[in-house]
Structure 1
Amino acid sequence: MEWATYGRQRVYGSAWVEVWLDDVDVPGLGRINHHVIRMPRPSVTSVVTDEQGRFLLIYRHRFITGRWGWEVPAGWADPGEDPAEAIAREVEEETGWRPGRVELMAEYDALAGISDMHFRSYHVTGCTQVGKPEDASEATAVEWVPEVEVVKLLTSGGVADGPSLAALSYYLGPYRLCRHS
């Protein structure tokens, strides 16, 4: 059953996020106003690995949730920027490591019931260290973490960020299974 949209009104907007009120007809429910969060720029994440099977992660605090945790490099594509080029830029800015190869792993809609936030997740390899991270506010630490430790972080809550959890879990599961079969 597809919802019919009769109009939309922008409630708030910035370069980061927009909030809309959509006039929709929900089958079986009728016409309602539905809040929609729109993201003006494409979101990108990465799983960065090296030849030793380690993962490049950043450790940071998220003020909104009040939590510390390990995350993958991520960010947004600038207007007109190719998402693969955006994640290469983000990896270098956040970690100080320049990607060699960037390969699309998966695409998904993070909050499809309320938002158009669309993620592209990439596998990044062949990195070369070119310096320190450009923005000190991005991370308290940048480390190459062995796979066994990444799995422990995933199962213990050490990775609580949704995009990081999705990217790492997808890489460790379906992505590697499909590449080795």
Structure 2
Amino acid sequence: MDSDPPSEQTRWTIHGERSVDDTRRLRLSIASVELPDGVKFEQYVMRSPKAAMMVVLDDALENVLMMWRHRWIFDRWVWELPGGYVDPGEDPVHTAAREVEEETGWRPRSAEPLVSLQPNVGVADAENLLFLSRAAEYIGDEVDVNEAERIAWISLGSVRARIAKGAILGASSQVGLLHVLAFPPA
């Protein structure tokens, strides 16, 4: 696919970034930014390690494996795809498969790239890589109470209504699920 060449006339210039806080999962900094017209300002920047998630479909490609969990940041119960941060040196596809197994007790039978996204492009560098598995086998691990209240196979036919009700809220979960609905796997 061809893309339009970038125009240097509209490129923003970064004159430096100073660290505010640096932890294992987030580096917060303030960048000195200059717009093409010369306006200068400071912008908070959040940098996180890559995360990898997986859309796991059942053998019939009619249901998706999801986790029902509480997100304390906004105090809501939501359905999410399994996933987590990519460890240094780890292949993201291995991260996604490992996280599915650890968080749900199901082992993906396959893994293929689905899509990459940046959930908050204006202030964050937090690449989320999504993968697709067309089947999984139950390996019998119990659900980790720290990860989810329950694990369930959700009908793909119910996904749009769950998104509309706010039961599937995470950007990566929505993108992965809507991608599968828009471009059903063969």
Fold in common (TM above 0.5): yes
Identity percentage of aligned residues: 30
Mapped pair 1:83 → 2:92: yes
1:43–1:120 CA contact under 8 A, matched in 2: yes
Once residues 101 and 15 of structure 1 are traced to their aligned partners in structure 2, the CA distance between those partners, rounded to angstroms, is: 30
CA RMSD of aligned residues (A): 1.5
Q: Following the alignment from structure 1 to structure 2, what is the Cα–Cα distance between the partners of residues 134 and 78?
A: 22
Which whole-Å deviations, capped at 9, do the CAs of 1:24-65 have from their partners, x for residues lacking one?
Answer: 2112352211110011x2111211101131110110100001
Matches within 5 A, 1:65-104: 65-104=74-113
Contact 2:105 2:138 in 1 (8 A): yes
What is the aligned counterpart of 2:52 among 39, 44, 52? Answer: 44
User: What is the TM-score with the length of structure 1 in the denominator?
Assistant: 0.91
**Is 1:59 paired with 2:68?**
yes
Q: Which runs of 5+ in 1 are unaligned?
A: none
Give the whole-Å Cα distance in 1 for the aligned partners of 2:99 and 2:76: 22
* CA drift at 1:134: 5.8
Per mean C-alpha deviation after superposition, the further-off stretch among 18-27 and 128-137 is 128-137
Structure 2 unaligned spans of 5+: 1-9
TM-score, normalised to structure 2's length?
A: 0.89
Q: Which moved more, 1:77-86 or 1:119-128?
A: 119-128
1:108 aligns with 2:146: no
Q: Structure 1 stretches (4+) deviating beyond 3 angstroms? A: none
Confirm or deny: 8 A CA contact 1:93 1:133 kept in the other structure: no
Taking a change above 3 Å as real, the CA distance of residues 134 and 146 of structure 1, as seen in their structure-2 partners, is closer
Which one of 32, 37, 43 corresponds to residue 28 of structure 1? 37
**Residues 1-36 of structure 1, C-alpha deviation per residue, up to 9 Å, x if partnerless?**
111111110100100111011112112352211110
Inter-partner Cα distance in structure 1 for 2:15 and 2:163: 42
